[in-house]
Amino acid sequence: MAAARTASKSLHERILTELRHQILSGAWPPGHRIPYELDLSAQYGCSRMTMNKVLTELVTAGLIERRRHAGSFVRQPKSQSAILEVKDVESEVSELGVPHGYELLARHKRRSTAADRKALGLTEAAPVLEVICRHFAASRPFCLEQRLINLVAVPEAAEQSFSVMAPGSWLVTRVPWTEAEHRVRAAGADPEAATALEITEGAACLVVERQTWNAANPVTFARLTYPSGAHELVAHFKPARMKGEAVTRPTDAALPAAAG
């Protein structure tokens, strides 16, 4: 009896591990409908009860979602960490109710430099893609996006021109991530940021640096620079020992001044 329970547990863990790998590796991208429970049970030679437990664990982990009468689908990655939310820049502009504009400034594929490896957290040289672009809220520069993509983790990014879609928007809909780190700081605009954002050099900016991993593999590092007034940090607190949260959000100061 004990041996049967052990075998059942081992099968459960093997199935869970394999399905997690399909999702986290990107083999099953966000929005992909996974095989039906009955089909998976037949594939792995297990009971539907065992497979139901596996799928329930994937739902609890936030990796899949079940839709009534439609099946189970890989969830879109959440653009939120435990303490801070940084949305896709295009979504931020949409929240302001104005048109989003995008311009690709530079795209370079290369062998990683020492600075690249430090930013991405790579332990050895690897091919990387650097993409520099800027976003507009209406006609006004809103954000300078400077991004490094680890092409070992995301080889298909090498085939993307990013001339129409920003790399951040492309990644968030196609590449799952399991861990993220955010850094937020104030900084004076360097020459590159000042030119891109059409502000004076040294002007106050909000800089958000974000790094993401997929199963311990570095995926991307991004530096998002916003002119002063385009964003604000909002914190909501509860009494001691209770969870609080903080979010960054765009402000109306990002919009062009009204004429007249």
| pLDDT tens readout for residues 173-190 | 777 777 888 888 899 999
Measure the CA–CA gap between 11 and 97, rounded to whole angstroms. 51
* Helical ranges in the chain per DSSP H: 2-24, 37-44, 48-60, 89-95, 114-120, 167-174, 191-197
Looking at residue 66, the DSSP 8-state letter turns out to be E
Domain ranges of the chain: 2-74, 89-254
* Domain 2-74, CATH number (from 3.30.1490.190, 3.90.480.20, 1.10.10.10, 3.40.50.300): 1.10.10.10
CA dist 27 and 122 (Å) reads: 23
Q: Which range has the top average pLDDT, 3-7, 47-51, 168-172?
A: 47-51
Q: Stretch 201-229: mean pLDDT, rounded?
A: 90
pLDDT at residue 232 in the model: 64
Residue 102 reports pLDDT greater than 50 = yes
Give yes or no for residue 19 having a pLDDT over 50: yes
- What pLDDT score was predicted for residue 247? 52
Q: Is there a contact between 193 and 200 (Cβ–Cβ < 8 Å)?
A: no
Architecture of the domain spanning 89-254: 3-Layer(aba) Sandwich (3.40)
Compute the average pLDDT of residues 213-237: 80
Contact 158, 150 (CB under 8 A): no
According to the model, what pLDDT value does residue 241 have?
45
Q: Is the dihedral of CA 53, 55, 60, 61 positive or negative?
A: positive
pLDDT given for residue 80 in this prediction: 36
Q: What is the pLDDT at residue 81?
A: 34
pTM for the structure as a whole:
0.63
Has residue 191 got a pLDDT over 80?
yes
Highest mean predicted confidence (pLDDT) among 8-22, 82-96, 112-126, 203-217:
112-126
> How is the beta sheet containing 100-111 ordered, strand by strand?
100-111, 127-137, 140-150, 217-227, 204-214, 179-188
